[in-house]
Amino acid sequence: MSAAPTELPIEVEAFLTHLVVEKGRSPLTIAAYRRDLLRYVAFLAERHTAYPDASPTDVDEFAARLRTDGLAASSQARVLVSVRTSYRYLAGEGRIDHDPTTDTESPRRPQALPKAIPEPDVLRLLDSIGEDEDPNDPLVLRDRALLELLYGTGIRVSEGCGLGFGDLDLDGALLRVLGKRSRERIVPMVPVVVRVLREYLDAGRPALVRATGATRDDADAVFLGRRGHRLSRQAAWEVIRKRGSAAGLDPDVLSPHVLRHSCATHLLDHGADIRTVQELLGHASISTTQIYTRVATERLVAAYRAAHPRAGASGVPAD
């Protein structure tokens, strides 16, 4: 078996030069392209095939080799993108006669499951707000209302920070939310969320209002920062990290989106219909919400295997 090539064909070097000169790619990026393309050219050399003469079958079998070599799907996709990009450029420049990657599909990257924290941890987080501090402090009232709202409704942090007084119907326990692409939806609130919002609006928010210099947007904002301006997403993030750390939770795994994921997962754990969760979260597609059913199922399987009396049985008959 011949040694793997250490040089790329002149056509491929021309492609890399294009990336440097015309696209301004960094040396690290070029090095990554070079490694991927050397791998491909070595595969072609095993088949006694030159780079310009490769066929769609060659490319498909190279993709199969990447799978059998045990590369992660993300690494497979990166290598194939390098190969496809090189052929696409060279075919477009007329340096080669055909592009054999036209019908090649990149491997699907596994969809990351959303993170959720266990219900007891969420309850500890919420119940800890106000411990060892004045429970009537305006910032304590605000933080409690913010976190209860995010977990209780599953709204995005940007949606929570963007709330105005016209979006609240506390008597009806309803929330009007303007989501992505300006899609409006109505979200119900559980009694505890309504109660802590009332407490914050009655006794917390007035103390945060600026005496002078407030904008019209600040005046309409439900959640205010300590200086009286509308609370930003970044400030809300810091509130959650601070409160999570105080409750003994890992601040590196806690975020506004984790509270949203936890709301969805816990609703499904308690039997909520997936269409209801879709409407609540404002997902345009049911496929986005179905990710949470995988989370709930995996949690169910793990709990079953940990708790069932026969879970440890081998299934092998005794002698």
In a domain, 317, yes or no: no
Question: Does 132 lie in the same domain as 50?
Answer: no
Q: What domain range is 218 assigned to?
A: 119-306
Distance (Å) of CA 125 to CA 122, 234, 259: 5, 19, 11
User: For residue 164, which amino acid is it?
Assistant: G
In a domain, 102, yes or no: no
| Size (the chain), residues | 319
Question: Does 302 lie in the same domain as 154?
Answer: yes
- In this predicted model, what pLDDT tens digit does every residue of 61-79 receive, in sequence order? 998 898 888 888 778 888 9
In a domain, 3, yes or no: no
In a domain, 210, yes or no: yes
Q: Could you tell me which of 34, 33, 35, 55 has the C-alpha nearest to residue 44?
A: 55
Share of the chain above pLDDT 90, in %: 44
Using the predicted structure, report yes or no on whether residue 240 has a pLDDT greater than 70: yes
Mind telling me the catalytic residues?
A: 156, 180, 257, 260, 283, 292
In this prediction, residue 191 carries a pLDDT of 92
Question: Does 271 lie in the same domain as 125?
Answer: yes
Question: Does 146 lie in the same domain as 62?
Answer: no
In a domain, 97, yes or no: no
Average confidence (pLDDT) over 10-23: 91
Terminal-to-terminal C-alpha distance of the chain: 52
In a domain, 162, yes or no: yes
- In this predicted model, what pLDDT tens digit does every residue of 123-139 receive, in sequence order? 999 999 988 889 899 99
Is the CB of residue 56 less than 8 Å from the CB of residue 100?
yes
In a domain, 149, yes or no: yes
Reduced to 3 states, what is the DSSP secondary structure of residue 34?
A: helix
Is the CB of residue 97 less than 8 Å from the CB of residue 22?
no
pLDDT band at 214 (very low <50, low <70, confident <90, very high): confident
pLDDT band at 229 (very low <50, low <70, confident <90, very high): very high
Question: Does 134 lie in the same domain as 83?
Answer: no
- In this predicted model, what pLDDT tens digit does every residue of 20-43 receive, in sequence order? 998 888 888 899 999 999 999 999
Using the predicted structure, report yes or no on whether residue 150 has a pLDDT greater than 90: yes
Q: Could you tell me which of 312, 277, 24, 298 has the C-alpha nearest to residue 155?
A: 277
Please tell me the distance from the alpha carbon of residue 121 to that of residue 175, in angstroms, as a whole number.
26
Using the predicted structure, report yes or no on whether residue 104 has a pLDDT greater than 50: yes
In this prediction, residue 106 carries a pLDDT of 62
Helix (H) or strand (E) holding 185: strand 184-188
- In this predicted model, what pLDDT tens digit does every residue of 272-289 receive, in sequence order? 777 777 777 776 566 655
Number of domains making up the chain: 2
